[in-house]
Structure 1
């Protein structure tokens, strides 16, 4: 392509993003490990502002095995309006083991099928992260240890793309919740505590979404 071709392409991308920012909703990916409450949060946001859910919730790991999108979610806060497309992604992990599903009384054939689909879903989530999202809501279970290889890797990819990111410390309704541990794990990013299940602290959640992604 050559130097000048590359420059023209870069300028074109910047110009397109400048002139489309006000007309096209921003694609906000909801990321995090399995069972952190990503779909519960996506559904609460979608229901609060559109009346519709994004997808089914479950205690079974990897229930979300394909990225699901809710378009044109308009959030209005403090006189400001932001329009986003919510992309609820499969939980990212280094390995999906079919035995995880056997623990939830699924037959082996079903467990193997789900593990295969979940593995494909992880690849799809990574593609969205590298190519197709404009910002990230990173959901962590505040009752579990955030210092994992996957979390560090994903936050690193988000930072390498220079994407705006909010870290949500979910499940603060649990007795063992420890928001400070998440804040200490990723001090370079703002952490917002919430319970997507109970709806705790959602006003601040929406304030921050409007601030970061508007």
Structure 2
């Protein structure tokens, strides 16, 4: 209980006293699309440390994670921003799915409750983002309700976005299908885990901020 109160106070303090001029780039997408892996890769590339815990079990990230003042350099240009790793968005979170992954019922119910709060928190933070990387698993169907709803909400809010088709190192990855699903947006295929094509992603981030 004390930890919950402490974490709440920290979040409120950050929201009140954070540098309002700092650019915020958010990582959004469904669970297990590789948002936290990408967050870690970006941080390792530019500040030498990771920012998020990763797991094969969905909804490992259940609270907003922020790493401040990351400076990315690309083609003699620099961009400094705060990176925001968000909980995975889902239309349904069932504790039984966690039980199937080997969790005990009590632990699974707790995780499901925290994950549900995380979804709400992600949505609340959306309006404070200057740009968003929509991280999708390129091995999965891009036409999911979560993906379509997420991008629709970003368009309605006029938040600049790049679609990141992650996990291109896997045989089942179909980046062409992701491109076909979202033809009006830049789609960058990467492997956050292996570090493939990160330079193209950084270039897209610079372009995204320049056009905002």
The answer to whether residue 151 in structure 2 is matched with residue 155 in structure 1 is yes
Q: Does 1:205 align with 2:165?
A: no
- Listed one character per residue, the Cα deviations across residues 81-140 of structure 1 (whole Å, up to 9, x for unaligned) are 1111110000000011001111221110000000000000000000011x2111100000
- How many angstroms apart in 2 are the aligned matches of 1:84 and 1:49? 12
Pick one of 142, 155, 166 that aligns with 1:170: 166
For structure 2, which runs of at least 5 residues remain unmatched after alignment?
Answer: 1-19
Give the aligned partner of residue 90 of structure 2: 93
Establish whether residue 109 from structure 1 lines up as the match of residue 102 from structure 2.
Answer: no
> 2:4: which partner in 1?
none
> Which residue does the alignment assign to 1:44?
41
Distance 2:199 2:40 in 1: 15
Whole-Å Cα distance in 1 between the matches of residues 171 and 139 of structure 2?
Answer: 8
Q: Is the contact between residue 64 and residue 90 of structure 1 (CA under 8 Å) also seen in structure 2?
A: yes
SS of the equivalent of 2:199 reads helix
Deviation for aligned residue 1:209:
1.2
Aligned partner of residue 69 in structure 1, secondary structure: strand
Task: List per-residue Cα deviations over 1:4-30 (Å, max 9, x = no partner).
Answer: xxxxxxxxxxxxxxxxxxx93311110
Q: Tell me if structure 2 keeps the 8 A contact 1:75–1:210.
A: no
1:29 aligns with 2:26: yes
* Mapped contact 1:76–1:210 kept (Cα < 8 A): no
Alpha-carbon separation, structure 2, partners of 1:52 and 1:105: 30
Whole-Å separation in 2 of the counterparts to 1:167 and 1:25: 22
Residues 1:146 and 2:147 aligned together: no
TM-score (norm 2): 0.88
Name the counterpart of 1:12.
none
- The CA distance in 2 between the partners of 1:79 and 1:212, in whole Å, is 17
In the TM superposition, residue 206 of structure 1 has moved relative to its aligned partner by 1.1
Q: Which runs of 4+ in 1 moved over 6 A?
A: none
- The CA RMSD over aligned residues, in Å, is 1.3
**Higher CA-based Rg:** 1
Q: Does 1:60 align with 2:19?
A: no
Instruction: Quote the residue 2:129 is aligned against.
Output: 133
